[in-house]
A = this chain, B = another copy of it.
Amino acid sequence: MKINISQRDGIPIYLQIIQQIKNLIVSKRIVENHELPPIRVLAEQLIVNPNTIARAYRELEVAGWIYKKRGSGTFVAPISDELTQQTCQQQIRSQIESVFKQAEQLNISPAQIIEMVQQQSKLESKE
């Protein structure tokens, strides 16, 4: 499981882990009911305090992304539609909203943004 932690960029480590595990799940690189590495193993791998991993797992469990079986480990939960389509769209929407806010202060019009988005879209489709 490839996870990259940057120790010094200000983003809390446990949030970096949560985000990257979410991405691994959504992109199907870890499939449903597959086992995640034990807390201590992952902690050792990432050179991070085990408490930090534990916190990431705990919050992922509360949010329904993973589940724990007593005595046997931690596993990826079946992806419910609400976790994918709905909440994911909301996440993107709020990012878009912040782009508009930022643009307003930089004297960039909504029309320009749409244009830039379409340009970017073409770049993406080529890759």
Interface residues of A (CB under 8 A from B): 7-8, 12-13, 20, 23-24, 26-29, 49, 62, 67, 69-72, 84-85, 88-89, 91-93, 95-100, 102-108, 110-114, 116-118, 120-121, 124-125
Contacts and interface: CB of A to CB of B under 8 A. Distances in A.
A2 to B, nearest CB: 8
18 contacts: A8-B67, A20-B105, A26-B105, A26-B106, A27-B106, A49-B72, A62-B62, A84-B106, A88-B106, A91-B106, A92-B102, A93-B120, A95-B98, A96-B117, A97-B120, A100-B121, A111-B121, A114-B117
Contact of A107 (B26, B98, B103, B121): B26
Main secondary structure of the interface of A (DSSP, over half): helix
Given A27-B107, A121-B114, A99 B102 contact: no
B92 A116 contact: yes
